[in-house]
Amino acid sequence: MDETAPFDVVFRARRMIGPDGEVPAAVAVRDGRIAAVEPPDADLPAARTVELQPDEVLLPGLVDTHVHVNEPGRSEWEGFETATRAAAAGGITTVLDMPLNSLPPTTDPQALAVKHRAARSKVHVDVGFWGGAVPENLAGLRQLHEAGVFGFKCFLLHSGVDEFAPLDSDQLARAMEEIAACDALLIVHAEDAASIDSAPQPSGRRYADFLASRPPRAERTAISGVLELARKTGARVHVLHLSCADSLAEIAAARADGVRVTVETCPHYLTFCAEEIPDGATQFKCCPPIREAGNRELLWRGLAEGTVDCVVSDHSPCTPELKRFDTGDFGQAWGGVSSLQLGLSAVWTQARQRGHQLADVVRWMAARPAEIAGVAGKGAIAPGFAADFCVFAPDEAFVVDAAQLQHRNPVTPYHGRPLAGVVRATWLRGQLAYRPGEIPPPAGHLLDRAG
């Protein structure tokens, strides 16, 4: 190994997904960043060379901007060590942690400091943090913004935990005004409380009854209200985990009118459909819910047309007991899908069936999440970007075994499901972060909005 070589490591791949699509390439790394992207036979002396196999593709490390880590306070649900191991095993090199389900929630600079202390020295990938917008902290949003959060999450109905209260319409307007003033980003769980309060209340084992308790009008009403306030205030808004395709036309029209709105969906909305969910299978419960097959196809159309910007996990785990497998009662079970390690394979499995390419998946799961959240230097293989890579074998298949995943708890609706595409290795700033059977010590950084 030549320690005097100009580059630390060079990756040579017959297939590499760059900003302009798929090409063969040699990618040179120096000091944790991409120094050059050249043709595959370029003379790039390096201390180390990594030759990808013919069936492997070099992708940028994925960026998952919707992860509930839950530490501190509910680390028996998930913690930084296990969550970031799972991320690395799934080809994800950057995650943004949601501000709720941990104790305290990330609603002031002091709570953000608690998060930092909990995460430091435990993270296998880079981790940044969202702040929360709740009724009692609206006057302090700028202070939390200046402390380095990537934006602010709010709910328009009960969040599932009492310590993270929702905003009413007046509070939402005030939050948008505060956020617009510092050009921050508001990310919204867009379900309308009144619509859900007037729907049948969920109970029992029938998935159809749970689905009826979270009707499409709840998303439509909430999204309409968010778009109208964004239009009035000029705030940047991001609609979280879109499950209902009914709002796509309104979102597209608002964007065409200059409203600064972006939208995400999740692998489970693109994979599963309500007609196939067994009664009592509470591992599928999430809010908003997984809807019918026709709706799923409209979400795919929204992705293809660009109305939906990105795909992120909304990894929201809990202990097996909270899923109430003893009763299968959807009304009592915690709502959240555990899938952090599986998102790339799940999306690729469905995407290729619909004629999409790996470059599309990279755009949805790496480039656009990084752009929307403002995660600098992430999500692309280009000079100056972090040397974060996923080595992916798109044609290798596997069957999900929940017990073999890196998540803290072996609960996922993907258990037993065949998926296409295997992560062979993950590299963080040019250093190995994951290989099957090999997970080096944590070497991730804690990120703030300044990078």
Six-digit token string for 424: 């062979």
Residues 390-411, mean pLDDT to the nearest whole number:
97
Residue 450 has pLDDT above 90, yes or no: no
Residue 179 falls in which region: left (phi positive, over 0), alpha (psi -120 to 50) or beta = alpha
Residue 2 has pLDDT above 60, yes or no: no
Is there a contact between 57 and 421 (Cβ–Cβ < 8 Å)? no
pLDDT tens sequence across 329-353: 999 999 999 999 999 999 999 999 9
| pLDDT on residue 451 | 65
| pLDDT on residue 5 | 76
| pLDDT on residue 148 | 97
Residues 69-76, mean pLDDT to the nearest whole number:
97
Residue 3 has pLDDT above 90, yes or no: no
pLDDT tens sequence across 90-106: 999 999 999 999 999 99
pLDDT tens sequence across 269-304: 999 999 999 999 999 999 999 999 999 999 999 999
d(CA 48, CA 280): 52
pLDDT tens sequence across 165-180: 999 999 999 999 999 9
Q: Which residue type does 343 have?
A: G
The CATH H-level (homologous superfamily) assignment of domain 61-374 is Metal-dependent hydrolases (3.20.20.140)
Write down the domain spans for the chain.
61-374
Residue 76 falls in which region: left (phi positive, over 0), alpha (psi -120 to 50) or beta = alpha
pLDDT tens sequence across 17-49: 999 999 999 999 999 999 999 999 999 999 999
Residue 1 has pLDDT above 50, yes or no: no
pTM: 0.97
Is there a contact between 167 and 191 (Cβ–Cβ < 8 Å)? no
Six-digit token string for 174: 């005030």
Q: Phi, psi (5° rounding) for residue 324?
A: 55, 50
Counting residues of the chain whose pLDDT is more than 90, the rounded percentage is 98
Average pLDDT score, the chain: 97
Counting residues of the chain whose pLDDT is more than 70, the rounded percentage is 99
| pLDDT on residue 415 | 98
Give the CB-side neighbour count of residue 275, counting CA atoms within 13 A. 5
**Across-strand partners of 16?**
23, 58
